[in-house]
């Protein structure tokens, strides 16, 4: 399988992301063997995440079509073409934000890129590459994947229950961090290798200064835990600034609450009961 280099990144500051990780002294294991595929099921010729992002930013859009599912009517599936390479992607547009006593409501296409960039800062492998493009955002399509909703309807059990549960645990922590109000089985993809992909983060990063799903904090990958603790407030704000018009301070509050919640579990249950080493997927 081809290597996707997690250390490289998008134009707005992914080199900065690598600098952050280097400065805080985290172990350098941000590489994973991940392959993205074309519509015919053939591996796309990308060696690094930077190459995926460059393709998303510069490839021609051959056609667009509406998606039958989902509540976002502005979302389109597109075919990208460049240099003989074709790949499906999702084009999102739109930005809406409303303040409310409940902590605010946000639906922003840019939150998808914010989620991707934050996942990279944490060393996650679960959010497909996404970039800004012409007033919107575009994200690589995960081919040959099924939704968790479809899996449940069919009554299919994961081939590796432990690995699946660990990925769900990481998802729970991530959703608390980004204040995701729209995680549902239709926004969880499972590819042919049993890898869980997290999509549709437009309704994230609103004004909540509390953890929305504390009951979903049940365990975490050790490497992600290290990065979550090591990221400074300044580094986190700088990385998110190009994509979040506001609510950056709220993100910092949630990160601190999340660290406290996980540390409390470690103190109570023991490190080995809370933290685990994820197998590469």
Q: Based on the structure, what is the number of domains in the chain?
A: 1
pLDDT in tens, 11-28: 444 444 444 444 444 433
Question: In the prediction, which pLDDT does 66 show?
Answer: 85
- pLDDT tens digit sequence for 216-248: 999 999 999 999 999 999 999 999 999 998 889
Decide if 281 is inside a domain: no
Question: Positive or negative, the Cα torsion across 204, 147, 36, 193?
Answer: positive
Considering the domain boundaries, does residue 38 fall inside one? yes
Residue 207, domain member (yes or no) = yes
Q: What is the pLDDT of residues 145-200, one digit of tens each?
A: 999 999 999 999 999 999 999 999 999 999 999 999 899 999 999 998 899 999 99
Establish if 198 belongs to a structural domain: yes
- Write the pLDDT tens digit of every residue in 41-95: 999 999 888 899 999 999 999 998 987 665 556 789 999 999 999 999 999 998 8
Q: Which domain, by its residues, includes 160?
A: 3-276
pTM (2 decimals)?
A: 0.86
Residue 126 lies in a domain: yes
Q: Put residue 33 in one of left, alpha, beta given phi > 0 → left and psi -120 to 50 → alpha.
A: beta
């Amino acid at each position: 399988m081809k290597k996707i280099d997690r250390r490289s990144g998008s134009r707005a500051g992914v080199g900065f992301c690598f600098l952050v990780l280097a400065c805080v002294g985290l172990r350098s294991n941000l590489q994973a063997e991940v392959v993205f595929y074309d519509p015919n099921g053939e591996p796309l010729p990308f060696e690094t995440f930077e190459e995926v992002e460059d393709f998303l930013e510069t490839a021609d859009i051959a056609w667009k079509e509406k998606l039958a599912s989902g509540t976002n009517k502005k979302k389109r599936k597109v075919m990208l073409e460049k240099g003989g390479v074709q790949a499906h992607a999702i084009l999102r547009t739109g930005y809406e934000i409303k303040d409310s006593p409940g902590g605010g409501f946000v639906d922003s296409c840019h939150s998808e890129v914010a989620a991707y960039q934050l996942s990279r800062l944490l060393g996650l492998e679960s959010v497909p590459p996404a970039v800004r493009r012409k007033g919107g955002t575009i994200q690589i399509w995960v081919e040959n994947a099924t939704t968790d909703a479809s899996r449940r309807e069919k009554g299919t059990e994961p081939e590796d229950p432990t690995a699946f549960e660990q990925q769900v645990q990481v998802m729970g922590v991530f959703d608390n961090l980004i204040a995701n109000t729209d995680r549902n089985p239709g926004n969880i993809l499972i590819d042919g290798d049993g890898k869980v992909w997290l999509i549709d983060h437009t309704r994230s990063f609103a004004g909540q200064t509390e953890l929305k799903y504390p009951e979903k904090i049940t365990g975490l990958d050790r490497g992600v835990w290290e990065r979550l603790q090591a990221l400074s407030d300044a580094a986190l704000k700088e990385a998110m600034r190009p994509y979040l018009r506001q609510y950056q301070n709220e993100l910092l509050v949630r990160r601190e609450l999340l660290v406290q919640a996980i540390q409390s579990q470690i103190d109570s249950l023991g490190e080995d009961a809370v933290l685990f080493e994820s197998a590469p997927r």
